Structure 1
Amino acid sequence: MNKTSASRSYKNIAVTSGYIKNADRTDANKSSNTVPTAFYGLGFVLIEAGKKYPPTEKGWQNKPHSFEKAQRWCKKGNIGILVNHPHAVLDLDHPDAVKDLQIPETTAWETRPGRLAYLVRWSESETEIAQILQGIGKKQDIAQIKLYRNGAHVGEIKLQRTYQVIPPSWKSVDGVRIDYKMVQDIPPATVSFKWLVEELQRLGISFSENNIGKARLDANIERLQNVQREVVLRADGLQKIAEDCLQTAIERGIAGCRNRTGFELACLLRNYGIDASTASEYMLRYQQAVRDRGDHEYTRDEALKSLKSAYQSDPPQKKVALKDQLLNEILETVELWHDGAGTGYVSFFINSGFASYPVKSAPFRHFLTRKFHDKFGKTPRKEDILSIVDLLDSIAASREVHKTYLRIAEHDNKIYIDLGRSDWKILEISAEGWKLVDRAPVRFIRHGRITPIPEPRRGGSWKNVIELLRLSDRESIILTLSWMLQAVWPHGPYVHLVLEGEQGSGKSILAQMLKLITDPSDNLLRRPPRDEEDLFVAARNERILSFDNLSGIQDWLSDALCCFSTGATYSKRQKYTDWEEAAISVRRPCVLNGIEAAPTRPDLLDRIITISLKPISSSDRRSEAELISAVESYLPEIWGLLADAASAGLRNRTRAKERLRGRLPRMADFAIWIAACEEVMPWDEGDFLEAYERNRSESMNTLIESDILASAVVELARQEALKERCFEGTATLLYEELTQVAGVDRSRPPKGWPANPNWMMR
C-alpha cells in the first residue's frame, strides 16, 4: 500500500476509555443471547458459559462454526470469532494509553467496563503483512502482537490462529458478572496495518517486553527458573515411571503376548505424557529384551508399529460422575462465603440479579436440582444434591466473612432495601432521592418467606394512605404512620405497635394491612408463639412480625419483645452435637393485636405505641378481600412516600438530633428518626413528639388503673397529700393502709394483691 493511501483521511473516531466519541451505542444488546450482525460471515468458536477459554472442542482452529450455529449456542454459552487474515482484532485493556489514536468507524465492543475491542479488515495482503512484521522484529506467523507503553502491557493486536470473545458472552470478575457489550454493530472498516503500526509507535507504543522495568524482568526470570526446576523434577519422575513400566512389560512379554504387551506399554507411556521420540527408545529396549521369546523374532518394526498405533489413538477419558460435573460447574460460577456465626452462604447470578442464600437452604437445593436437570436431562438423586451442599458448605466456611442483612441495610449514608423481586433489584435511598439498582454493596439474604414489594412510584398522597387504613383521630394517624417509617429505618431500637379495642373494631385487618405495606410475606398474621425459640425462628425469616389475637402478654414474651426492640441473640445447642451452638441475632419491630394485647410491664410499655380502635359500624364495614386489594393496588405509591420520607430522614438526621437535644424520650433513636422524616409527613414539625409523649403517659395511666395495688398506692399518696404529709411506717402498716384504701377483703384477696406484708419489702 503506498504512502498516500496509508495516511489517507478517514472519517475518524477517537479511542477513549469506556466509549467511542461520535458513535452512539447500538441497541444490539437489547435482545439478549443474540449474535450481533457485524460478525456475520466470520467463523466462530464455542466456549462454556462465563469463560474466556478454552473452546469446547479440540482443534478449534480448524473447526469454524457458522453464524447460525453460534446463534443457537449463545443461548447457553459464550462465543468467540476466529481471527485470521484479512480480519484482525485490536484488543485494548487500557484505551487511555492510545487515546489519540484515530481509526475509522468500525465494529467495536466492550470486553469489560473501560476496555474495548475493535474488529478491522487489513488492506494489505498476507505477504505485505509478513514484511511489515519482519520490519518490527516479529515472526511472520505470529498469532498476536502484545502492546506495551512505559513497560506496562496495554493490549494486543490479534492477527491469526487465535480468537476473540464477543457479545453476548459474559464472565465473572471478582464474583461480579460482566457482560460483553456492543458499542458499534457495523461492518468492520478496512484499515492499513502499516498505518496502524506507525500510529502506535508515534503514540509511544512498543511491541516487545524490552521496555519492561528491571523488577518485572527479574520477576519473569525467577518465574522461568522455577518452571525449569519443575520441568526437571517432573522429567526425573517420569523417567522413573517409564523405567518401571518397561520392566513390568519385559516381565509380561512372554511368547504369544509380546505384541499386546508392547502396545500396552506404548499406551502407558502416552498416558503419562511422555513424548513419542522418548517413548520409541523404551519400545526398542523392550523389543530387544523380548525379541527371541517366541517361535519367531519380535522385530523392531512390530514394536514401532505398536508405538504408532498407541500415539495415534486418543487416551482413555476418565468418566466423571454427573454430580462431580455439576459441582465443578457450580464452583466456577458461584461465590461462597460465611457470616460471623459460621453459616455458609452462596451468591450467584440469577434472572440478571445477584442472589444470596444459605448454602443449606431449600431455595439453593432447588436451584441445584433445576441446574442438574437442565444440564443432564434427568432428575438427580437426593443424596447427590445433599453431598454437593455439604461440600459447598465446608468450602464456604474457609472463604471470606460478610455481614448479612434481611430486607434493609445502610451503607455509606445510603439505605438499601431488598424488594424481594425475582431479578433481585434493590431500592437505593440517599439524601438526594431514590432509585433502583442492580446490586447493593451489602449482602442481602432470603429465607423463603418474604414476598415482593412493587417498584415504588412517585405521586402518592398520605391522605389516601390514611383513608385506606381507616384512621380517624389525629393522634392515631401520626403514631401509626410514624411506626410505618420503621420499614425504611435500618437501625433501631424499634418501637412495637399495639392495636387494642373491642370485638369488631378492625384490629386484625389493620394489622394485616400494616404488615402487607411494611414487610409483605406469605404470612400476614401469626398466632402467638408457644415459646422463645418459635419467636426467634419466626424473626429469622421475616423483618416485621405481626401477632394476632393475643390474650395478654406473658412475662417471657414481654421480655423477648423488649429484646426484639433493642436487639438480642437466642442460642441453643445445635442438634446432633455435644458442644456446638446455633444462634440467631435479631432486632425487629412488631405488631400486636388483641382485646387484652396491652402490656402490663413497664419495661415493655416504654417500647410500644398503643392505638385504641373504635368499633366499626355496619355501614362502614368492608370485606377483608376488598381492603387488602385496595392496599395492594396503592402499594407502589405508598412505598414512594416511604422512600421520600427516608430520603428526608437521611438529610435531616443531624438537625433533628440537635432540635430534640435535652427533651428526648426513652426511645431516643426512634424519636430522632421520625423527627428527621417530618419534613414530608402530613403533620407539622414537633407534632410527633407531643403525640408520642401523650401516648406513653396515657399507657402508663392505663397500666396503673388496671393494677389494683398500683391504684391503691396512688390513692394513698393522694390522701396523704391532702393532709399535707407523706406516709411513714412499717411494711405491715403500709399493707394495712393499702388494704383499707382498696377495700380488699383479706379473706378473699383479688388476683394480683400481695398475700402478706412481707411482699411490700421486695
Structure 2
Amino acid sequence: MPITESSLVNFALEYANMGMKVIPIPLKQKAPLMKEWQKLRLTEEEIRQLFSKPSNIGILLGEPSGWLVDIDLDDPLAVKLAPYFLPFTEAVFGRDSKPCSHWLYICFGAKTTKWQGIDGEMIVELRSTGCQTVFPPSIHPSGETITWYKEGRPIQISRDELEKACSRLASAVLLAKYWPSQGTRQDTALALAGGLIRLGFNEEEAERFIEAVTVGAGDEESKSRVRTVLYTARKAGSSPTTGWKRLSELVGEEVVSKVLAWLGWKKQEEVFEDPPKKEKERESQAQSLVNLALSSGVELFHTPDGNAYATVPVNGHKETWPVSSRGSGPFRNWLRRIFFEKHGKPPGSQALQDAIGVLEAKAQFDGPEYPVFTRIAEHDGKIYIDLANDTWEAVEISPVGWRVISDCPVKFRRSKGMLPLPHPESGGRLEELKRFLNIPDEDSWRLMVAWLLASLRPKGPYPVLLLQGEQGSAKSTTSKALRALIDPNTAPLRTCPKDERDLMITATNSWAVSFDNLSGIPVWLSDALCRLATGGGFSTRTLYENDEETIFSACRPIIANGIDEIASRHDLLDRAIIIHLPPIPEENRKDEAQFWAEFEKARPKIFGALLDAVSAGLRNIDSVHLDKLPRMADFAKWITACEEALPWPSGGFMEAYMGNREEAIEVALEGDIVAVAVKNLLEEREIWEGTASELLEALEVFIDDTTKRSVAWPKNPRNLGNRLRRVATFLRQAGIEVEFLREGHDRRRLIRLKRENVVRNVRNVRNDLQSFENTGLEVRTICGQRADNADEVRTKNENSLSATETLKDKGLMDAYNKADNADDKIPIQSNDMQNHLWDILLKLAKENHPGAYEPLKTLRIAGVTLRKSGKGWGFKAKIGDLFNTKQDFDDWIRQYVTPHKQAIKDLFDKLEEEINNVNSTPEVWEL
C-alpha cells in the first residue's frame, strides 16, 4: 500500500512520541542532506512541516534517542544466523530482499562498532551515537519498502552482552564463509570444538556456535555433526587434532586470528602452540575452586525435579543461582571472581568446567531439597513476593499485614528481563490506579483489580485477561501498567509465540505472560493458554539428545490484547475475563513520558494497597462460602475473601464476574454456527433425539450452502459429536442440555437435545449505567422467528400506569423480593416482566421524549425485548414478520432509533430510577 503524506507524518510523530529523534531523509536515499543533522531536534510542528511531502524517515541513534541502537546486519549470512546469537527483542525491521536485517535495542553507553571480513566487507555493525538509520515506512534505494517484522518495544541490554553477541555472530559468519568443502568438514568442526572449549565456552555455547557455523556453511549434516565433534573434542583433550592451531591449518591463520580477536582472546600465541602439559596445574585449579566455593558459606541444594542450585553470600545478602555445567550464568562468574581474588589470576576454562561439574553433583546428591520460585511463593501460610532488586529483598504478607524483609525463608530465582518492583508504601488507595487505566465501567474496574489480586496469589488457576478495543483504546498501555504492578519486565509485552515450547520457556522465566496486538488466537495457542492458566506441562525432546526429554510445567497469570474478538474457543472463553476498552478522545490523551512518570510516582502506594487486599484475602479465605461455585471457583473465592479491603461493597466482584461470564457465553454461542443451528432446531420443540448422522442432517436445514461448504461446519457425524461436546457447557447455561446416550441391545449411540426453561439465580443489579453512557445504545439481533409475546403487547394502561403500581399490583415485586431472599429462581425473559418494563418505558417516553415514543412502540410491536448486561441497557430482537432480515432491522434502527439515541439513554436512566424507587434497597433484576 502506498505511503501517503499524512501516514508518513503519523509515523514520524509516533516515533517522536516514543522518545526517538527523527530527521528527514530524501526519498529513496539513506543519507541526510541537512548540515549538522546530528544536532537536529525537531518540534512537532517542524515534523508536520518537513514530512508533509514524500521522504524517508531517519532516526538518530544512541544518546539522542534514549540510547536506542541498531544492529545492522549487512551480510545476508548474518541475517540468517542472527537468531543463534542476538538477544530476543520486540523491534526488528528490514525489506523483502533482506528481511529482519535491523535489530533494535536500548543499550546505555554503547559505541558504534564494526565487524568487517578479511577483504573489508561489512558483516555486522552496531550503530549508536553519531549514526542514524532509515526506519519504516521509508523506501530503500533499491525501491523496496522498509517494513516492520516485529513492531514492539526494543528490550534493554548491557553493552558487554550486546557486543559479545555481535562478536560471536560475526565470528560464526566469517568461519562459515571459509568453511571447507566435503572431505575435511569433520576435522574442521572437531578443531573448532576443541578451540572453543579452551577459550572458555561451556558445552551449550559451543554446541550453538558450531551449529550456526555449519548451518551457515550449508553443511547438510550439521545436527549430527555437532554432538559428535563435541564428544570427540572432550575425549581428545590435549590432542593436536583439536584447537585453534589445527583450525588455522584448515581455514587459514588470518581467519582464525580475526575470530580470536573478536572473541576476546588477547594472547593468540598461546592458542597456536600445542596444548601445554599442565594437567596437574589444571587439576589443582579445579580442586581449589571446589574448596573455595565450599568454604565461602555457599549452600548447595537441588529442586524436586533434580536441578542443582546454590545460595551464595554476596555483599551482605544472599542470592540463589542455578549450578550447571551446561550454560553460563552468575555462579560460573562468581567462581572466577573468588579464584582470582585468591590466586591473582583467572582459572583455566577446563578447570572451571570440572569444578562446576563437581559442585553440581554435590548439590544433586548431597544437598537438601528445596523448591525454587519465580517472583511469588507461599510458605507457612504466608505469601512472599520477590522485589527483584539488587539487595534481594522480598515482601512478606500474612493475615495481619505485610512487611519488607531481607532474609527470605523461600528460594527465589531470577531470570533475564526481570525488573524490580517498587518498595511498597502503606496508606495507598486502589482508586489511584483508575486514572492510569482506560476503564469502560465499574464492572470492568472490579475485574481488572480482581485479575491483579489473583496474580499476587501463588496458587492458580488464574483467569485469562483479554483486553479488546479499536486502535487508540490504550490496550498496550493498560496491559503494561497492569503487569508493572505484579511482574515488571524489560519486554513487558510479547508477540505471539511461534510454538508451545516458546510459550512455556517464556512462562518458566517470568511470572506473568502478556501478549500484545493479537489478531485472533490460533487453536494450538488457545489450548496451550488454557493449560497454562490452570496449570499444565509440556514435554519436548532435549536438544541434541535422542532419548531425553525436557519437561516444562507452569501455572501463570495471562494478559492478551487485540482489536478483534481474539478468543473464539469455548474452553478459553470459559476461563477468560473479557473487557472491551473504549477509544480515548484526542483531548484526553497524555504524552507517554508524562504518563509513565506519573505512574512510577504512584506505583509504590498502589502496590501497597494491593498488598493490603492480599493480606485481607489470607485473613478471610477460610471463612468464604459461595452459594454457587462458578467456573474458576478458587479465583472467585479468593477475590471475595479480599473484598474487605476493596473499594466496593461485598458481593460486587461476583456481580461483575457473573455478568462478564454471561457475555462471554453469549459471544461464544453467537460465534459458533453449530450452537446457532442447535438453538434454531429447538425453537419449535423441547426435545430432539437421534444419531449423530440424523442430527447433522437435521441441523443442515438451518444453514445455507455457503456455510455448509465452509471449514467451520462439521463434515461428518464424528466431527459434529466433537463440536457438541466442546459447546455443551455453554449450551447448558443457555438452557439446552446435550446428552450422549447408548440405548438398545446393540448399544446404539444417540444424542439427545433438550430445551429447558431458562432460569438463573437472580442477582442485584447496581444502579450504574456508566457503561451505557460510554458505549452508546446496544442493539442485538438473533436468527429465528418472531418473538413469542409479539402479539401480547399491552398498551391500554400505559397512560396511567406507574412503576410501583405495575410491579406491586401484579404481585411481581413480592415475587422478586421473595426470590431474592430465598435464593429462588425466576425466568430471565418472562413475558410479564417484559410487558411491565415496556409499559413503564413507553409511559416515560410519552411524558418526557415524545419523539422517541413511536420508534419505541414499533420495537415493542415487533417483539423486541429489553435487556440489561454488563454494557448497560439495550434491545434484543428476533427477526420475524416485521423485519424480514437482519439488514432490514439494522437499517430501521439507523433511520428511526439512532436520531433519538440520547433521548433513549435518558429514558433508560429514568427507568432505572423508577425501578429503584419502588423499594429503598436495590431491586432484583436479570433481563
Larger CA Rg, structure 1 vs 2: 1
Matches within 5 A, 1:81-96: none
Task: Give a deviation string over 1:354-385, Cα, whole Å, max 9, x none.
Answer: 21111135122232333344444444444343
* 1:754 maps to 2:714: yes
- Residue 433 of structure 1: how far off its partner (Å): 0.8
Aligned to 1:450: 418
Aligned to 1:412: 380
Counterpart among 468, 475, 488 of residue 436 in structure 2: 468
Task: Give a deviation string over 1:31-50, Cα, whole Å, max 9, x none.
Answer: xxxxxxxxxxxxxxxxxxxx
Contact 2:292-2:338 at 8 Å conserved across structures: no
* 1:440 maps to 2:401: no
Contact 1:553-1:597 at 8 Å conserved across structures: no
TM-score by length of 1: 0.55
Structure 2 SS opposite 1:436:
strand
Distance in 2 (CA, whole Å) between partners of 1:467 and 1:389 is: 51
* 1:340 maps to 2:307: no
Contact 1:357-1:447 at 8 Å conserved across structures: no
Distance in 2 (CA, whole Å) between partners of 1:732 and 1:331 is: 71
Distance in 1 (CA, whole Å) between partners of 2:490 and 2:352 is: 27
Distance in 2 (CA, whole Å) between partners of 1:387 and 1:426 is: 34
Bigger shift: residues 338-347 or 750-759 = 750-759
* 1:364 maps to 2:328: no
- Residue 554 of structure 1: how far off its partner (Å): 1.8
Distance in 2 (CA, whole Å) between partners of 1:638 and 1:365 is: 38
Over 3 Å counting, the alpha-carbon distance change for 1:708 and 1:569 in structure 2 is: closer
- Residue 417 of structure 1: how far off its partner (Å): 1.1
| Two-structure CA RMSD over aligned residues (Å) | 2.4
- Residue 715 of structure 1: how far off its partner (Å): 2.8
**Identity %, equivalent residues:** 42
* 1:387 maps to 2:354: yes
Contact 2:455-2:462 at 8 Å conserved across structures: no
Bigger shift: residues 475-484 or 354-363 = 354-363
Contact 2:473-2:582 at 8 Å conserved across structures: yes
Distance in 2 (CA, whole Å) between partners of 1:675 and 1:367 is: 46
Distance in 2 (CA, whole Å) between partners of 1:643 and 1:758 is: 50
* 1:609 maps to 2:573: no
Contact 2:520-2:565 at 8 Å conserved across structures: yes
Structure 2 SS opposite 1:518:
coil
Over 3 Å counting, the alpha-carbon distance change for 1:396 and 1:761 in structure 2 is: closer
Bigger shift: residues 694-703 or 365-374 = 365-374
Over 3 Å counting, the alpha-carbon distance change for 1:761 and 1:388 in structure 2 is: closer
Structure 2: which 5+ runs fail to align? 1-279, 723-927
Distance in 2 (CA, whole Å) between partners of 1:522 and 1:371 is: 30
Contact 1:351-1:422 at 8 Å conserved across structures: no
Aligned to 1:739: 700
Letter in 1 for 2:495: R
* 1:686 maps to 2:647: no
Letter in 1 for 2:589: R
Aligned to 1:709: 674
- Residue 628 of structure 1: how far off its partner (Å): 2.9
Contact 1:418-1:427 at 8 Å conserved across structures: yes
Distance in 2 (CA, whole Å) between partners of 1:753 and 1:632 is: 50
Distance in 1 (CA, whole Å) between partners of 2:329 and 2:281 is: 33
Counterpart among 478, 499, 504 of residue 510 in structure 1: 478
- Residue 434 of structure 1: how far off its partner (Å): 0.8
* 1:331 maps to 2:298: no
Task: Give a deviation string over 1:220-267, Cα, whole Å, max 9, x none.
Answer: xxxxxxxxxxxxxxxxxxxxxxxxxxxxxxxxxxxxxxxxxxxxxxxx
Matches within 5 A, 1:120-269: none
- Residue 736 of structure 1: how far off its partner (Å): 4.9
Aligned to 1:89: none
Contact 1:337-1:396 at 8 Å conserved across structures: yes
Letter in 1 for 2:630: P
Aligned to 1:212: none
- Residue 325 of structure 1: how far off its partner (Å): 2.9
Aligned to 1:191: none
Matches within 5 A, 1:621-660: 621-656=589-624, 658=625, 660=626
- Residue 414 of structure 1: how far off its partner (Å): 1.1
* 1:396 maps to 2:363: yes
Task: Give a deviation string over 1:499-528, Cα, whole Å, max 9, x none.
Answer: 111222211111111111110121201111
Contact 1:569-1:583 at 8 Å conserved across structures: yes
Over 3 Å counting, the alpha-carbon distance change for 1:446 and 1:686 in structure 2 is: same
* 1:669 maps to 2:638: no
Aligned to 1:120: none
Over 3 Å counting, the alpha-carbon distance change for 1:688 and 1:443 in structure 2 is: same
Task: Give a deviation string over 1:644-671, Cα, whole Å, max 9, x none.
Answer: 0111011111122x2x1x3111111111
Structure 2 SS opposite 1:482:
helix
* 1:574 maps to 2:545: no
- Residue 756 of structure 1: how far off its partner (Å): 5.3
Aligned to 1:700: 665
Counterpart among 338, 346, 354 of residue 318 in structure 2: 354
Contact 1:341-1:583 at 8 Å conserved across structures: no
Distance in 1 (CA, whole Å) between partners of 2:565 and 2:308 is: 39
Structure 1 SS opposite 2:352:
helix
Letter in 2 for 1:741: F
Letter in 2 for 1:390: G
Over 3 Å counting, the alpha-carbon distance change for 1:597 and 1:523 in structure 2 is: farther
Distance in 1 (CA, whole Å) between partners of 2:623 and 2:329 is: 46
Distance in 1 (CA, whole Å) between partners of 2:281 and 2:355 is: 20
- Residue 742 of structure 1: how far off its partner (Å): 3.3
TM-score by length of 2: 0.45
Over 3 Å counting, the alpha-carbon distance change for 1:424 and 1:610 in structure 2 is: same
Distance in 2 (CA, whole Å) between partners of 1:571 and 1:751 is: 30
Aligned to 1:204: none
Over 3 Å counting, the alpha-carbon distance change for 1:374 and 1:625 in structure 2 is: farther
Distance in 2 (CA, whole Å) between partners of 1:343 and 1:328 is: 22
Structure 1: which 5+ runs fail to align? 1-316
Distance in 2 (CA, whole Å) between partners of 1:358 and 1:607 is: 34
Contact 2:529-2:572 at 8 Å conserved across structures: yes
Task: Give a deviation string over 1:282-325, Cα, whole Å, max 9, x none.
Answer: xxxxxxxxxxxxxxxxxxxxxxxxxxxxxxxxxxx999845543
- Residue 734 of structure 1: how far off its partner (Å): 4.2
